[in-house]
Structure 1
Amino acid sequence: MEAFFAPFGVVFVQRALWGGILVSAVCALAGTWVVLRGMAFLGDAMSHGMLPGVALASLFGQNLLLGATLAAGTMAVGVTALGRSPRLSQDTSIGLLFVGMLSVGVIIVSHSASFAVDLTGFLFGDVLAVRERDLAYLGAALGVALAVAVGGHRAFVALAFDPRKAHTLGLAPRAAHAVLLGLVTLAVVASFHVVGTLLVFGLLIAPPAAVALWARGIPVIMLGAALLGSTATFVGLLVSWHWETAAGATIAAVAVAMFFVSVLASAARPSPRRSSTRADRPARPSAVSHPEGQMTS
């Protein structure tokens, strides 16, 4: 038992744990909508599309967070603008912006003498180097993300399941989509400089996807994703400490492993649609009147 908790007696591991918990909470609020709307590719593109902003900020000695924010904002505006074209699918727009931004970033970074180190730090971060100031940033980001998620919940639900009805109800689906992109941008930008884009994307997608296989209510998915991401952080740090592996990558691997465990468990459970009545008892109509896949808000 001592070996189980010994790593968390070290100050920098404690800060890494709290950083991972805060990142998990922020990513749960944004990632739930990313999963429900099938926007995983957008999340990946957003996290890697920050590279040119980070590279330019590093090149000119500016704040990396500012550079990441500008690059992610440019990516979000580009996706919104190109997505309005009836002749261009959203996936095509995201893919082109993703490749373009990433290519520009790599070109800029390639002129730096520390190319390999900078790119590795961008992808994997250093969760064990989390400072108290970083925790304060993440706490503020969590507060903003929570306010946006609560304030836009009704519009986000309508946008996710019936955009036409959202327009009919006067919920401004285009504005809601822009705000949702802003929420995803906030989660990615606030977290990447602490844990890297790999861990951000892992916690943005894997925990909500794992919980969505079991939960029906959106708030339940968010809460479950935050708890699952926090668990992945704890287990990942523990494994990293004893096996001497990269902490950020280990946490991301644990989160993805939890998703596949959830998939296998979900596939193995008996379907509730099968009638559990005896052969001489007629099936009740209500047994099929509420499909399992229906999501509640």
Structure 2
Amino acid sequence: MDLLLEPFTVTFVGRAAVAGMLVAVTCACAGTWVVLRGTAFLGDAMAHGMLPGVAVAALVGAPLHLGAAAAAATMALGVTGLRRHPRLGGDTAVGLLLVGMLALGVIVVSASPSFAVDLTAYLFGDVLGVRPGELGLLAVVAAVTIAVTAVGHRAFLLAAVDERIARTTGLHPRAAQAALLGLLTAAIVASFSVVGTLLVLGMLVAPPAAAVLWTSRVVTAMTLAAALGCAAVVIGLLVSWHASTAAGATVAATAVALFAVSLLASLVRDRRAATTAAPSSIEGTVPA
């Protein structure tokens, strides 16, 4: 038990665990919709598209989260606007904005003689360096995300299934789309300082992807995704502590590993179900 509990008696590791769990809950709410709607590429693009905002914020001495939020919001608005063009597909809009935002970010960083932006922390995060004030921000983001998810559940579900049905029931699918993009933005901005932009997609997609293999109910999938995300945080921090590996990367890798285990288990379940059903169907047939 000492091997399991000892790391979390250290202040910064315990703080990292709390921060990671708050990120897991936030990512579970937003990431479940990302998985169900098949928009993982959009999440990845928004995560990488924050670079110019973070770079500018670092250069002028502003909070990095503020710059990240501004860049992510710009990305979301740009994707929404370009998707309305009849000749441009969603992936085209996302790809163009991703390249443009990354290029702008690199230009801003290269133009700085002091290279004030710590790209390593931006790309890979610093979960062990989370400060008490950041815990408060993560808690607020998690609470708001849960509240918006609960209030907009019906609209999000209908918009994901069929926008025409959403319109006929008096809902506004465009408003639902905007709210979903807002949830995605909040999850990414809140998570990048913990696991970094390169690894945020792991927390955003892996736990929900593992969860949807076991249930068709959205709320159940979100709850299971949050539990898997929290498990990934705890296991990842333990492995990182004892193996002396990068904490953020280990957490993200653990989340992906849990998905792999869930996938294998679901395949075994499906094979057993098919094997059990096969004799029954044979026994129920009448020879010609």
Question: What TM-score, normalized to structure 2?
Answer: 0.93
**Match for 1:260: what amino acid?**
A
**Distance in 2 (alpha carbons) for counterparts of 1:253 and 1:39:** 21
Residues 212 and 221, structure 1, Cα contact 8 Å, conserved in 2? yes
**Distance in 1 (alpha carbons) for counterparts of 2:73 and 2:171:** 23
CA change 1:6–1:98 in 2 (3 A) is same
CA deviations 1:91-144 (Å, max 9, x no partner) are 000011011101111121123356597111101110001111111101100111
Structure 1 or 2: larger helix share? 2
CA change 1:161–1:275 in 2 (3 A) is farther
**Distance in 2 (alpha carbons) for counterparts of 1:117 and 1:238:** 29
**Which of residues 281, 285, 296 is equivalent to 2:284?**
281
CA change 1:278–1:57 in 2 (3 A) is closer
Count of aligned pairs between the two proteins: 283
Residues 237 and 251, structure 2, Cα contact 8 Å, conserved in 1? yes
**Distance in 2 (alpha carbons) for counterparts of 1:219 and 1:47:** 25
**Distance in 2 (alpha carbons) for counterparts of 1:114 and 1:165:** 54
Shift of 1:278: 6.6
- Which residue does 2:74 correspond to in 1? 74
Could you list the structure 1 runs, at least 4 aligned residues long, displaced by more than 4 angstroms after superposition. 113-117
- Which residue does 2:64 correspond to in 1? 64
- Which residue does 2:89 correspond to in 1? 89
Does residue 1:53 correspond to 2:53, yes or no?
A: yes
- Which residue does 1:122 correspond to in 2? 122
- Which residue does 1:201 correspond to in 2? 201
**Match for 1:111: what amino acid?**
A
**Distance in 2 (alpha carbons) for counterparts of 1:47 and 1:41:** 10
Gaps of 5+ in 1: 284-297
**Distance in 1 (alpha carbons) for counterparts of 2:282 and 2:81:** 58
Alignment of 1:1-297 (within 5 A): 1-113=1-113, 115=115, 118-271=118-271, 272=273, 274-275=277-278, 277=280, 279-281=282-284
**Distance in 1 (alpha carbons) for counterparts of 2:117 and 2:240:** 20
Residues 109 and 119, structure 1, Cα contact 8 Å, conserved in 2? no
Residues 109 and 118, structure 1, Cα contact 8 Å, conserved in 2? no
Residues 198 and 249, structure 1, Cα contact 8 Å, conserved in 2? no
CA change 1:132–1:72 in 2 (3 A) is same
**Distance in 1 (alpha carbons) for counterparts of 2:114 and 2:47:** 21
**Distance in 1 (alpha carbons) for counterparts of 2:226 and 2:74:** 28
**Distance in 1 (alpha carbons) for counterparts of 2:150 and 2:38:** 21
CA change 1:281–1:96 in 2 (3 A) is same
SS at the partner of 2:270? Answer: coil
SS at the partner of 1:269? Answer: helix
Question: What TM-score, normalized to structure 1?
Answer: 0.91
